[in-house]
């Protein structure tokens, strides 16, 4: 499945971004996801401040525009936010660092329970029963 991730300029991320990806696995969607990053365990949430709604963070194994395979994490209209209490405060947003999306190379950053889904090939259905 081909998708375009478009993120509006806003408080979370300073510029508009549009990138094209091919999804290779089913999509996992949840309110937030904890990742094991260089800074330690961090929760990633979706940001859609303009609409005042909560969107799910979405995760899938994907191929980017230059053919590299990795793991795409994307969210709402204003991207995703890696929560971090030591980050600078931005009015109206949870304390953390804003990104248009995250691109990770290693499955080990994700909870082990997601590994089978992220390793699975995408079928007609995006649902994962594992």
In the predicted structure, residue 53 carries a pLDDT above the cut 70: no
Residue 35 counted as domain residue: yes
Domain total of the chain: 1
Which range marks the domain in which residue 68 is found? 2-119
User: Which band of pLDDT confidence, cut at 50, 70 and 90, is reported for residue 80?
Assistant: very high
- Give the number of other CB atoms < 10 A from CB of residue 109: 19
Q: What is the pLDDT of residue 39?
A: 84
Residue 101 counted as domain residue: yes
Q: What is the pLDDT of residue 51?
A: 57
| Beta strands at 102-104 and 69-74: parallel, antiparallel or unpaired | antiparallel
CA–CA distances in Å: residue 118 to residues 33, 64, 78, 107? 14, 16, 24, 8
Residue 128 counted as domain residue: no
Average the pLDDT over 45-58 and give the result: 77
For 123, half-sphere exposure in the C-beta direction (CA atoms, 13 angstrom radius) is: 7
* Euclidean distance between CA atoms 94 and 99, whole angstroms: 13
Residue 10 counted as domain residue: yes
CA–CA distances in Å: residue 37 to residues 44, 57, 58, 82, 110? 11, 16, 17, 10, 9
Residue 30 counted as domain residue: yes
Average the pLDDT over 83-111 and give the result: 93
Residue 126 counted as domain residue: no
Q: What is the pLDDT of residue 129?
A: 42
* Euclidean distance between CA atoms 77 and 10, whole angstroms: 9
- Closest C-alpha among 105, 113, 52, 57 to residue 82: 57
Average the pLDDT over 56-82 and give the result: 95
User: Which band of pLDDT confidence, cut at 50, 70 and 90, is reported for residue 74?
Assistant: very high
Residue 63 counted as domain residue: yes
Helix (H) or strand (E) holding 49: none
Q: Give the global pTM.
A: 0.90
* Euclidean distance between CA atoms 128 and 120, whole angstroms: 9
Residue 124 counted as domain residue: no
């Amino acid at each position: 499945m081909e998708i375009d991730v478009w993120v509006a300029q806003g408080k979370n991320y300073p510029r508009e971004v549009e990138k094209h990806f091919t999804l290779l696995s089913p999509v996992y969607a949840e309110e937030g996801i904890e990742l094991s990053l260089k800074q330690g365990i961090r929760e990633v949430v979706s940001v859609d401040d303009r609409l005042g709604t909560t969107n799910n963070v979405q995760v899938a194994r994907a191929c980017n525009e230059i053919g590299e395979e990795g793991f795409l994490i994307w969210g709402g209209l204003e991207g995703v936010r890696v929560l971090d209490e030591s980050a600078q405060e931005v009015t109206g947003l949870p304390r953390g660092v804003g990104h248009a999306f995250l691109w990770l190379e290693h499955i080990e950053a994700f909870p082990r329970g997601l590994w089978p889904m992220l390793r699975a090939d995408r079928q007609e259905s995006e649902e994962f029963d594992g």
